[in-house]
Amino acid sequence: MASEPDAETTAAGLRRQLAAGLEKDGWLRSPEWRAALEAVPRHAFIPRFYRERGGPGVTTWEPVTEVSLGQEAWWLRLVYSAASG
């Protein structure tokens, strides 16, 4: 039976995916910047952030933390998405 990867393993994979996507879209053009993006644990610097919520005429901001989402993997996926940066 395979076990779930730990947070650091998951984060490393998500960093590689983020770098590949940014490179593909033309935002990341330097091997040195790609190496830095893949090496730095972004989640260590973003323990929480806010995402927009709202309906017609109303905008609110919802805090996003590992605790508020209840699942580490979901929080890490949001931290390592291009939209959160």
Residue 62 three-state SS: strand
Does the pLDDT value for residue 76 go beyond 60? yes
3-state secondary structure of 81: coil
pTM above 0.85, yes or no: no
Q: 43-59 pLDDT, tens per residue?
A: 888 888 888 887 778 88
- List pLDDT tens digits, range 5-37: 688 888 999 999 999 999 999 999 999 999 999
- Give the largest CA-CA distance in the chain: 49
Q: Which helix or strand (DSSP H or E) is residue 69 part of?
A: helix 66-69
